[in-house]
């Protein structure tokens, strides 16, 4: 029978409740070498664990999942060609489910013919030919139908996968920062995409189909089996023994678990300081990015001696968990189930022989019948156990569909507002006013306020610079203005109205922010810059009459960001990928091959994905910052507020000076907010300086006012000025 056993989530992983290694009443602790293994204590082993059977709880869960299943089937049917593909696939699957019983029936008939031949020395050739032909046809039909099913399976899988990959992409893409930082949400999203090969939706449909077809298979086999056994003396006894043998084998497998770990719910950790240290040292030596420090610090000799000493001390205990577990299993020896399993396999044949010896003239059945009965019972038992296991997981599969659909509707923590912003687009030319009123904020999961009663007002068209010590909250202010987060208390007003009342999409269109912790996208330089204007990026992805104009806009933005010069010197210029999203693939290459497709060959197979905040593609920090700056220059029209968080942190003094000159020239009447450590270039031209320390604004005013005040700002100004005296 055509079967596909795909991704299967462990039941335990999805059960509500907790696994607490410290709870000795529920969890057994075993020491294996340097490892501590904690296993959930299961209720006494059962041949057919009742947990596999749907309980009332899972019945309720299944009922709750039904609307989602219905929704999914409707959507699958609406994907082009999927309806007829699915109908054909269903038909074939159900026909296949009947074939084992038909095969069994013909095998029984063949057996009868053989027995008749033995007893009466006559054979009906015509019947024999027909039965043998039918039996063979069944085998051929199974093969053919399996092949046909696979021909339907693949396009179905691909189409459904493609459909849901777009849905899942959208589900992820639209999430805001706090929601996307929530680990339970991330897990929910990851679980809805079992693999690149298949989709959770198709997986679940297949599993449900599998359960239905196995049920049909089982019922049809059972009817034929009973008819056959009734005709054979001792048939029921021998069938029961074969059934018991399969039962024992299953039980044995259940108690042994996989090589990688025990069955059931478990967790393993190591607290062995030596082992942790040895592994840390090994990692340090393997990872390329530590090499500079290993060499410059002369660490090699001491690392070698530490590793050698620890390895000797730990001996054979210094091994990973799966090897340690494998050893434990080998030492554990045989279980009672293993011990009984093999003799049970032989028992039907022994009984048959004993009967033959006891009643030589009246042998109850032939050897051929014995084989048929044991084989058939084995097959039947396996189908039965498969069904039990699959039925146990049906609630799980239905729940998976529900969870998939739930990911499409994960609510964002930052709520959208109803009002357009601004009501009059022309007002953007005069900038946007920003006001904080008694704003307090702490990051999700954080334990302390990062902003405490922060109040200030930046008028339309003003240039504001926020200065202050590391960690005082400067970047956080910019993050709140872009509504990446909402304050815990207080109010933020834009043009005099609560920021939460505006549509988020409008707000993001009207403001442009360059964060200090900017990243570069694993795309080409051209795309990286174009993404500063999402509409331009979308147009760039569909070549058309505007493409040339867009390209010249990108070049212009790169010039303003100071990136054009070095981009033009690169081999692929604007088409250079900052990080290739797809790795090149190659076989073992002759060691003289240094480059391939214009990129350097990585012989260790460990091609660094590159942390884009460092020096990906051999670009310096300053060059990376210039690309990020260019991105912000892509969008000038329709923006009334520009925020820059440390835009010149990695720039040399000339580049910094040029940048600020350009920004001032381009600014017009727009509001601009900078966060900076550097006093001078910017603060002297600022209409408003906010001086922050420890989550609060301590001083505010113009440069001259703050110098006159002779407070914290003046002190730091003097410190920086003295450095140049």
Positions touching ligand ATP (CB under 6 A) are: 443, 446, 450, 468, 470-476, 516, 675
Nearest CB to ligand ATP, comparing residues 234 and 700: 700
- Give 50's DSSP letter: G
What is the Cα–Cα distance from 573 to 557, expressed in whole angstroms? Answer: 15
Minimum distance, C-beta of residue 469 to ligand ATP, in the bound complex (Å): 7
Residue 586 near residue 536, CB atoms below 8 Å = no
If one counts every other C-beta atom within 10 angstroms of the C-beta of residue 57, the result is 11
What's the full length of the chain, in residues?
725
Nearest CB to ligand ATP, comparing residues 362 and 517: 517
Minimum distance, C-beta of residue 692 to ligand ATP, in the bound complex (Å): 7
Q: Are strands 434-441 and 451-458 parallel, antiparallel or unpaired?
A: antiparallel
SS3 642: strand
Minimum distance, C-beta of residue 516 to ligand ATP, in the bound complex (Å): 5
689: β partners? 465, 701
Minimum distance, C-beta of residue 454 to ligand ATP, in the bound complex (Å): 11
If one counts every other C-beta atom within 10 angstroms of the C-beta of residue 653, the result is 10
Structure tokens at 452: 């405490």
441: β partners? 451
Strand segments (E) across 469-579: 489-494, 497-498, 511-514
Nearest CB to ligand ATP, comparing residues 429 and 693: 693
Residue 106 near residue 228, CB atoms below 8 Å = no
Structure tokens at 583: 């790795």
Nearest CB to ligand ATP, comparing residues 422 and 487: 487
What is the Cα–Cα distance from 359 to 354, expressed in whole angstroms? Answer: 9
DSSP-assigned states of every residue in 506-565: HHHHHEEEE-TT----SSBHHHHHHTTSHHHHHHHHS-STTHHHHHHHHHHHHHHHT-HH
- The angle that helices 367-408 and 125-173 make with each other, rounded to 10 degrees, is 20
Neighbour-count burial of 553, counting CB atoms closer than 10 A to its CB (0-12 exposed, 13-18 middle, 19+ buried): buried
- Give 412's DSSP letter: P
What is the Cα–Cα distance from 687 to 697, expressed in whole angstroms? Answer: 16
Minimum distance, C-beta of residue 400 to ligand ATP, in the bound complex (Å): 32
Nearest CB to ligand ATP, comparing residues 418 and 446: 446
Nearest CB to ligand ATP, comparing residues 453 and 516: 516
Nearest CB to ligand ATP, comparing residues 443 and 566: 443
Q: Check whether the bond before 423 is cis (ω within 30° of 0).
A: no
Nearest CB to ligand ATP, comparing residues 224 and 651: 651
Minimum distance, C-beta of residue 646 to ligand ATP, in the bound complex (Å): 6
Nearest CB to ligand ATP, comparing residues 527 and 645: 645
Residue 700 sits at φ, ψ, to 5 deg, of -145, 150
Nearest CB to ligand ATP, comparing residues 377 and 675: 675
CA atoms within 13 A on the CB side of 715: 6
Minimum distance, C-beta of residue 451 to ligand ATP, in the bound complex (Å): 8
Minimum distance, C-beta of residue 507 to ligand ATP, in the bound complex (Å): 20
Minimum distance, C-beta of residue 470 to ligand ATP, in the bound complex (Å): 4
Minimum distance, C-beta of residue 178 to ligand ATP, in the bound complex (Å): 9
SS3 269: strand
CA dihedral 533, 536, 541, 545 (to 10 degrees): -170
What is the Cα–Cα distance from 476 to 482, expressed in whole angstroms? Answer: 10
Nearest CB to ligand ATP, comparing residues 446 and 598: 446
Nearest CB to ligand ATP, comparing residues 65 and 625: 625
What is the Cα–Cα distance from 87 to 655, expressed in whole angstroms? Answer: 66
Minimum distance, C-beta of residue 443 to ligand ATP, in the bound complex (Å): 3
Nearest CB to ligand ATP, comparing residues 251 and 675: 675
Structure tokens at 700: 């505010």
Minimum distance, C-beta of residue 543 to ligand ATP, in the bound complex (Å): 38
Minimum distance, C-beta of residue 645 to ligand ATP, in the bound complex (Å): 7
Nearest CB to ligand ATP, comparing residues 221 and 476: 476
Nearest CB to ligand ATP, comparing residues 470 and 541: 470
Nearest CB to ligand ATP, comparing residues 466 and 540: 466
596: β partners? 599
Minimum distance, C-beta of residue 500 to ligand ATP, in the bound complex (Å): 20
Minimum distance, C-beta of residue 3 to ligand ATP, in the bound complex (Å): 47
User: Whose structure tokens read 């530490």?
Assistant: 306
Nearest CB to ligand ATP, comparing residues 113 and 177: 177
User: Whose structure tokens read 């996307």?
Assistant: 180
Residue 641 near residue 574, CB atoms below 8 Å = no
Minimum distance, C-beta of residue 473 to ligand ATP, in the bound complex (Å): 4
Minimum distance, C-beta of residue 551 to ligand ATP, in the bound complex (Å): 34
Identify which of 491, 414, 488 has the alpha carbon closest to the alpha carbon of residue 450.
Answer: 488
Structure tokens at 231: 């005709």
Nearest CB to ligand ATP, comparing residues 102 and 467: 467
What is the Cα–Cα distance from 299 to 290, expressed in whole angstroms? Answer: 11
Greatest Cα pair distance, the chain, in angstroms, is 124
SS (H, E, C) 9-23: CCHHHHCCCCCCCCC
Q: 272 Cβ partners below 8 Å, 6+ apart? A: 34, 314, 317
What is the Cα–Cα distance from 688 to 699, expressed in whole angstroms? Answer: 10
Minimum distance, C-beta of residue 698 to ligand ATP, in the bound complex (Å): 13
SS3 673: strand
Q: Are strands 463-468 and 266-270 parallel, antiparallel or unpaired?
A: unpaired
Residue 639 near residue 510, CB atoms below 8 Å = yes
């Amino acid at each position: 029978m055509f079967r596909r056993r795909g991704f299967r989530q462990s039941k335990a992983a999805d059960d509500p409740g907790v696994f607490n290694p410290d709870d000795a009443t529920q969890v057994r602790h075993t020491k294996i070498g340097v490892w501590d293994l904690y296993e959930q204590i299961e209720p006494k082993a059962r041949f057919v664990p009742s947990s596999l059977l749907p309980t009332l709880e899972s019945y309720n869960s299944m009922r709750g999942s039904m609307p989602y299943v219905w929704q999914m089937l409707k959507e699958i049917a609406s994907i082009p060609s999927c309806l007829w593909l699915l109908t054909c696939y269903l038909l074939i699957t159900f026909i296949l489910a009947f074939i084992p019983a038909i095969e069994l029936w013909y095998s029984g008939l063949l057996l009868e013919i053989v027995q008749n031949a033995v007893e009466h020395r006559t054979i009906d050739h015509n019947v024999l030919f027909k039965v043998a032909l039918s039996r063979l046809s069944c085998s051929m039909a199974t093969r053919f139908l399996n092949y046909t099913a696979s021909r339907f399976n693949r396009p179905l899988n691909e189409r459904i996968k493609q459909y849901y990959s777009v849905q899942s992409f959208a589900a992820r893409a639209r999430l805001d920062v706090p929601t996307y930082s929530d680990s339970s949400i991330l897990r929910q999203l990851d679980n809805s995409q079992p693999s690149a090969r298949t989709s959770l939706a198709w997986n679940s449909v297949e599993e449900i189909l599998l359960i239905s077809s196995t049920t049909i298979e089982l019922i049809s086999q059972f009817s034929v089996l009973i008819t056959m056994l009734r005709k054979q003396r001792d048939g029921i006894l021998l069938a029961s023994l074969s059934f018991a043998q399969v039962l024992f084998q299953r039980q044995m497998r259940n108690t042994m678990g996989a090589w990688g770990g025990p069955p059931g719910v478990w967790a393993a950790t190591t607290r062995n300081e030596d082992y942790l240290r040895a592994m840390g040292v090994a990692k340090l030596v393997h990872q390329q990015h530590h090499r500079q420090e290993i060499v410059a610090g002369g660490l090699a000799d001491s690392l070698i001696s530490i590793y050698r000493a620890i390895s000797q001390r730990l001996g054979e205990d210094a091994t990973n968990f799966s090897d340690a577990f494998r050893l434990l299993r080998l030492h554990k020896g045989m279980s009672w189930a293993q011990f009984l399993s093999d003799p049970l396999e032989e028992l039907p044949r022994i009984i048959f022989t004993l009967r033959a010896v006891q009643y030589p003239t009246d042998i109850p059945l032939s050897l051929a019948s014995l084989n048929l009965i044991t084989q058939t019972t084995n097959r039947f038992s396996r189908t039965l156990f498969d069904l039990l296991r699959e039925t146990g997981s049906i609630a799980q599969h239905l729940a998976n569909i529900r969870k998939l659909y739930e990911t499409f509707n994960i609510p964002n923590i930052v709520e959208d507002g109803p009002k357009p912003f601004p009501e009059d687009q022309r007002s953007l030319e005069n900038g946007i006013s920003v006001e904080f009123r008694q704003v307090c904020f702490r990051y999700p999961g954080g334990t302390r306020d990062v902003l405490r009663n922060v109040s200030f007002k930046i008028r339309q068209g003003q240039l504001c610079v926020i200065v202050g010590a590391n960690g005082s909250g400067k970047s956080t202010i910019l993050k709140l203005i872009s509504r990446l987060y909402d304050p815990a208390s207080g109010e933020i007003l834009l043009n005099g109205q609560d920021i939460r009342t505006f549509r988020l999409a409008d707000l993001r269109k009207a403001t442009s922010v360059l964060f200090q912790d900017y990243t570069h996208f694993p795309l080409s330089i051209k795309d990286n810059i174009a993404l500063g204007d999402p509409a331009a990026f979308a147009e760039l992805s569909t070549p058309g009459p505007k493409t040339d104009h867009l390209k010249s806009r990108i070049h212009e933005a790169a010039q303003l960001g100071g990136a054009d010069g070095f981009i033009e010197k690169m081999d692929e210029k604007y088409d250079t990928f900052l990080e290739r999203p797809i790795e090149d693939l190659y076989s073992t290459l002759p060691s003289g091959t240094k480059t391939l497709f214009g990129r350097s060959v990585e012989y260790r197979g460990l091609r660094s994905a590159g942390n884009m905040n460092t020096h990906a593609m051999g670009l310096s920090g300053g060059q990376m910052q210039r690309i990020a700056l260019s991105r912000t220059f892509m969008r000038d029209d329709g923006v009334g507020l520009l925020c820059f968080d440390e835009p010149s942190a990695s720039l040399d003094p000339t580049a910094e000076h040029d940048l600020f000159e350009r920004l001032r020239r381009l600014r017009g009447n727009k509001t601009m907010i900078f966060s900076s450590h550097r006093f001078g270039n910017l603060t002297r031209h600022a209409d408003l300086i906010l001086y922050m320390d420890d989550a609060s604004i301590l001083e505010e005013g113009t440069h001259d006012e703050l110098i006159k005040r002779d407070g914290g700002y003046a002190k730091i100004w003097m410190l920086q000025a003295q450095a140049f005296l």
